Amino acid sequence: MGDSAHSAARTGAGAGGWLRRHRVWLQLAALALACLLALGWGWLVTTRAADGRDRYQIVNDEYSVTLAPADPACGLEQAILAGPDTPLYGVRLLFTTYDRVAHGTLFVDLLDEAGIPLAHASCAMTELLDNTFMALIFDTPVFPQAENTPYTLRVTTAPDTAEDRVGLWCSETAMPGFGLTDPAAPQAGGAGQTAALQYVVDHTGNWADRLFWAPAALLALAVLGGWWLAAVKQVSAWRLFCAAAGVLGLCFALVTPPLAAPDEYSHAAASYAMASRMLGQPDFDEEGRLLMRPCDAPYMTDETGEAGMFAYKRLAQGLGEVGCAGQVSEPVKVSAPYEPFGLLYLAPALGVLAARLLGLGFYGMLLAGRLANLALYIGLAGAAVRRMPVAKNMLFCVGLLPMCLQLAASFSPDALVLGLSFALFALALECADQNCSVSGRQAAGLAILSALLAPCKAIYLGLAALCFAIPAERFARPGARLSGVRRARLLRLGCCGAALASWCAVHLEYLGYTFRDLDLGLLPALAVAAVAAAGLWYALRGPESGPTPAQKKLLLALCGAAAVGGAAFVLLFSHMGGQLTPEELAAAMQPNGDSAYTWSMGYLLRHLPGAAKLLMATITDTAPQLLQGLLGTALGEPIVFTAEASWIYTLALAGLLAVSALRRAGQPARLTSAQRWLVGALALLAAGLSVLACLMWTPVNYDHLFGWQGRYLLPVLPLALLLWGENRTLVLAREAEPDAAVRVGGIALTALVLLQAVGLYAAL
């Protein structure tokens, strides 16, 4: 009895020891199996949606009679003409089976003018449906070199029985050059008819099957490599972030169809123009059209690029094209944005510049510009993750969100905006958290990042105030001429002043447009004087311990005056400007139903209830789309086409972000009360300014905000998550935060969204 018990114990211990010794390899095998199953599912979905699709061009759409061959072996012969613009991947013919199911085999041969077979297609006659077009794809596509090249289509059958008859629908009269004849009985049809005919000018074939495995390999590498680096090698967060963002970003650059990322066609045109200027070449002609190399001109448009398997096929065929170096000469009408701040497009422009110097074709140039933008984002966001003193996992997961990587792996200037905002946020937290004093390098970094971020997008000006989250005692230095409080004031004034100055230099003209229907008079000058006076008073005011009683009274008086002035401003300007009459509104209606009048500050002040109603309708009706746009489960350009990943991924990403921001049990608060108020105010300010900016280009007859997307909140998402993590109700119960699990989870969820995106894009 005892021996049996000891033997069982030894057996159990041995099995448990074996599992512990090989735990890493077992986990790797399980993860590899999960990846294989996911890739198999993605391959099945993609190939089912994209393989075997064709595009056709109608040649003859008139048909009222049918013609059956006198001898099925001789069949019918249809003369056709084709040119360089009509590649022949196959044909579509309208068959009749005379109200029964035919059995046998149908053959279609394409013959040249000399009667030599060039291509062949066949199908079982049971696949033919009565009075239904059937696509017959040639085994070898034919590409005519000259206009109106003559060919002959020979349609023959091998029926099982004499009753298995198949004929063609055709017109009563023949199109010139497209005569339909019956070689076995010329008198039956003569050449006075033309079959109902369509050319198959493009065909996906098995391209989806062939192209799927490039992104599939990258996704498997990201997940398996990310797990190995995080769980086994235990590399630092910023190194893991850079590796994962590089692999997943490269996958996004390949998976996102050309010019199909949000507003990418416009940003690509701006980058191309900047690259031309760097090369000393002209950018636009006198009519405002973008000058391009002849090899690039056919692909650039003034609208979002095409998605679908055909776009992928052209990308794969043109990616290796070289020998396209040359001067710009072809004018192309594009929608290039105004470049208020040259730094916005510097990274993708450098990628375009390098590709043009190397002579790469359009698709190679497109990939080079995307990867240059991605490299800039990875550098800034990776540095931010490295400097984060707390909640590294939170910024890690935010930086790897599908929307962040989609924007970074395109020509979007949001790559720079996101990178700068993350870097400024992390540097401010580092300065606020460290035990030593703020160094001169850190202070300069705060000022530079604030000055660069503010003009990139006007709505993020308030992020410069993150310097106020740094306690004044962090600026104290032994033996310094200035006290810590004075140095703190000077730094805050410098950061906010640099941000405001650069913002005004870029966006002041647009600000005037926003207030276009208000007579402001001396208000701008008074505002500038008030800001300058407030900044000077803040920098030079009295005792370091705080304001004196007299200064407190002055500050209270200023606050009261500001409140009274704000109320007077709203009251005064809400009655300024004329109201739009019904006749004016009716006259301003455009053919597409939009009003020519858009909201302005004056119109807003005169219609505050209407603005509140519009905002509430937007939030309640589009909240799911906003969440998908924020996380990146709605991919591509949402206004043009819909590529929405599963809501399971949306909920999983939201849950992962919520978990990544939580504190560990027993960990002290990461923000003081004052810092929480500041961070919350800045997040709300950026969100409010984004709403206001979208409102300014919304037609007045709309009942929803035009163009408001969740991705506009990405730069302040870390602020909101950090606030959420400070709650006292939910904390991580484990003593150690599961870093590897959270980080690998972020990589895996983004990879799953990308995997589904391949099928979604290919099916469009």
- For the chain (764 residues), the mean pLDDT of every run of 10, in chain order, is 51 60 83 94 91 91 91 92 93 92 94 93 93 92 92 94 92 90 72 89 89 93 95 92 97 94 91 92 88 90 87 89 83 77 90 94 95 97 94 95 96 95 94 82 91 90 90 74 72 85 82 70 58 58 55 66 67 62 73 80 82 90 92 88 90 95 84 89 92 88 88 95 88 69 95 94 89
| Model pLDDT, residue 332 | 87
Q: How far apart are CA 440 and CA 420, in angstroms?
A: 19
Of 526, 543, 560, which marks where a domain is finished? 543
Q: How many CB atoms lie within 10 A of CB 678?
A: 17
Q: How many CA atoms lie within 13 A of 421 on its CB side?
A: 31
**Does 706 reside within a domain?**
no
Q: How far apart are CA 231 and CA 208, in angstroms?
A: 34
Q: How far apart are CA 637 and CA 672, in angstroms?
A: 40
- Residues 98, 193, single domain; the answer is yes
For the purposes of burial, counting CB atoms within 10 Å of the CB of 616, is it exposed (0-12), middle (13-18) or buried (19 or more)?
exposed
Q: At what angle do helices 608-631 and 673-696 cross, to 10 degrees?
A: 110
Of 150, 171, 205, which marks where a domain is finished? 205
Q: How many CA atoms lie within 13 A of 460 on its CB side?
A: 26
Return the structure tokens found at 440.
């001169």
Q: How far apart are CA 757 and CA 172, in angstroms?
A: 48
- Residues 185, 228, single domain; the answer is no
Return the structure tokens found at 449.
């990042």
Number of domains, the chain: 3
- Residues 130, 233, single domain; the answer is no
- Residues 231, 366, single domain; the answer is yes
**Does 505 reside within a domain?**
yes
- Residues 316, 216, single domain; the answer is yes
**Does 343 reside within a domain?**
yes
The CATH number of residue 182's host domain is: 2.60.120.820
Return the structure tokens found at 66.
């049918």
Which of 553, 441, 542, 454 has its CA nearest to residue 496?
A: 454
| Model pLDDT, residue 481 | 63
Q: How many CB atoms lie within 10 A of CB 309?
A: 26
**Could you tell me the pTM of the whole model?**
0.88
Q: Mark 226-244 as b/e (b = at least 16 C-beta within 10 Å).
A: bbbbbbeeebebbebbbbb
- Residues 167, 233, single domain; the answer is no
Q: Where are the beta strands (DSSP E) in 568-607?
A: none
User: Which DSSP string do the residues of 338-359 spell out, in sequence order?
Assistant: P-SSGGGGHHHHHHHHHHHHHT
What is the extent of the structural domain holding 537? Answer: 435-543
> Are the C-beta atoms of residues 409 and 374 closer than 8 Å to each other?
yes
Of 355, 373, 391, which marks where a domain is finished? 373
- Residues 100, 162, single domain; the answer is yes
Maximal CA-CA distance, the chain = 114
| Model pLDDT, residue 519 | 62
Q: How far apart are CA 754 and CA 732, in angstroms?
A: 29
- Residues 228, 278, single domain; the answer is yes
> What's the one-letter identity of residue 169?
W
- Residues 220, 189, single domain; the answer is no
> Are the C-beta atoms of residues 458 and 715 closer than 8 Å to each other?
no
Which of 269, 254, 266 has its CA nearest to residue 218?
A: 254
- Residues 250, 305, single domain; the answer is yes
- Residues 200, 215, single domain; the answer is no
- Residues 200, 217, single domain; the answer is no
> Are the C-beta atoms of residues 399 and 241 closer than 8 Å to each other?
yes
**Does 11 reside within a domain?**
no
**Does 355 reside within a domain?**
yes
**Does 754 reside within a domain?**
no
| Model pLDDT, residue 156 | 95
**Does 550 reside within a domain?**
no
| Model pLDDT, residue 720 | 95
**Does 649 reside within a domain?**
no
